[in-house]
Structure 1
Amino acid sequence: MKSLYTTVATATGGRNGHVKSENGIINLQVRYPKALGGANEDYANPEMLFAAGYSACFDSALNLVIKNEKIQTGETTVTAKVSIGQIENGGFGLAVELHANIPATTMEQAQALMEKAHQVCPYSNATRGNIEVKLTVSNN
């Protein structure tokens, strides 16, 4: 791979700690969510950060596909739902549900655009074959 961009973030304290990007834009306390034994939902957590990154990246990939296909749509949105759970070997794994809303398209067009974006998105390429990713679309 020819690198086009690299960034760095550092964590201290794991899930009950702190994350900071090298430029200081991300500078957050992270905590276990309540479902994993945390006290509340008042802090970011790794799954939340992954969901934010995946949804933003996928929406960009989707818009690149739309541009390349020369299709006119309304403003797209992508929502990423990231789950963590225990896997068969006793470790932990992730699952993702991506939902894209692609206005001013037919459902068939929306589904085709979603599938093409899933082939382009770096997050999709990085996770393919490693975690379950479910794709759904709407067009309103």
Structure 2
Amino acid sequence: MSIERLLTAQKQENLEIVEAILGDGSKPDAEYTIEHHFSSTSFDRLEKAAVDAFKQGFEVNDAEEMELEDGSVIYCFDAVAQHKLEVEILDLACEGLLKLAQKQKVDYDGWGTYFIDENGEVRDDEFDDELDDGEDISR
């Protein structure tokens, strides 16, 4: 899929996720921790992507090795940012990260965040897994 199509789909997904989180009552003016997910079967490529994400201003988590159901191994990391849950900010970040993923030949697996209640408390139910109604909002 072309980068333009990926970006168009990601922008639509960004809008849907933000609307879902805020529609469920998450605090609109809070600072959110946004975790952008990357994966690859090549540790070297993933490492280069992590360096590029760091250069773009993201905090980068250590890479983890994961074994898939079929026995194959992938490596993954998160590029983390803190900001308000605004579609425009997410669209810009995703554009840069999708281009980074394409350049380094790794997978950009979308982003996730956590629900923040009216008291500013973060709840454990991560919003890149599933919404309360069962709608999958992860990439």
Q: TM-score range by the shorter chain?
A: 0.3 to 0.5
Q: Report the TM-score, using the length of structure 2 for normalisation.
A: 0.36
Q: Report the TM-score, using the length of structure 1 for normalisation.
A: 0.35
